[in-house]
Amino acid sequence: MAVSHKIMEHLEKSVIVAAHPDDENLWFSSILSKVDKVILCFLPVVSNPTWTEGRRNSLSAYPLDNISCLGLAESEVFEGVDWGRPVKTKYGLRITENQLSDKVYRKNFDSLKSKLREHLKGYCNVFTHNPWGEYGHVEHVQVYRAVKALQKEMQFNLWFSNYASNKSANLMVSEFSEIVRDSMTLPTDKSLAKEIASTYKLKECWTWYDDYEWCDSETFINNTDTPPERWKYGTLVPINLIIVEEQPVQQSHLEMFTSRAKGKLRKLILKIQGLL
């Protein structure tokens, strides 16, 4: 499919800001090779050295030369939110289950803003995660919040992805009830996506389904606080819906004991690394 002149304008001086290595491939494959730069935010996973090393090796072997990484450590707060009733905050979502991760999560928001302020200079179009974190990932939401916090100051167009899931549906609906935005749709680059996925899998740091099949197209939604008058009462916005298995917030006693033990070890490592 030929790219229209209008879409080419939206890709002028453009950059993708994605949370983790492989997110850029899952949610932005249609524009990966078209943007000027791809910025990944997080790399080290304190509790998973295999992923940390695998990500470094994957980026070294990456088939595109427009990728870079801020290198922040993950907060590891994936299942710390009640997705039935998520609470929005300026730094992402309220963490209810892990105080240690919440502390790192809050600190990461400030680090993201500071680092992205330098890396986004001169760009007109910034593509990033959506306000509900695609399938429901709190660090995706945080990256969106950090980029959004810089939009007015840096005067760029902000675009977010159209992926969602049964897990993140409540948060998605609350976001869309506030404002409906313009959008553009592009075909996914399945060939490139599968090539990149094979690298992550080879390096043992692929975090998604092994048999995942990319959608035929994906849509990017323009995030503006003042939409054109023609969108006043809504418009057609396609959603790429993914069905995921939600994890219960409650833990068994054994799981809780194991989690606390890992948490203490992780806290010690973070203190040694100066991240707390």
Mean per-residue pLDDT of the chain = 87
Domain tally, the chain: 1
| Greater model confidence, 214 or 6 | 214
pLDDT digits (tens, 9 = 90+) for 213-270: 999 999 999 987 665 566 666 667 899 999 997 654 444 334 444 444 455 455 555 5
**Arithmetic mean of pLDDT, 79-103:** 87
pLDDT of residue 264: 47
For residues 10 and 7, what is the distance between their CA atoms, to the nearest angstrom? 5
- Over residues 191-213, the mean pLDDT reads 97
Query: Is the whole model's pTM more than 0.75, yes or no?
Result: yes
Q: What is the pLDDT of residue 250?
A: 41
- The CA distance from 2 to 104, in Å, is 44
Half-sphere exposure (Cβ direction) of 198: Cα atoms closer than 13 Å: 7
Task: Supply the CATH number for residue 262's domain.
Answer: 3.40.50
pLDDT in tens, 125-177: 999 999 999 999 999 999 999 999 999 999 999 999 999 999 999 999 888 76
Q: With pLDDT > 90 as the criterion, what percentage of the chain qualifies?
A: 70
Lowest average pLDDT, out of 2-6, 87-91, 153-157, goes to 2-6
**Whether 166 contacts 172, CB under 8 Å:** no
Parent domain of 181: 5-272
pLDDT band at 28 (very low <50, low <70, confident <90, very high): very high
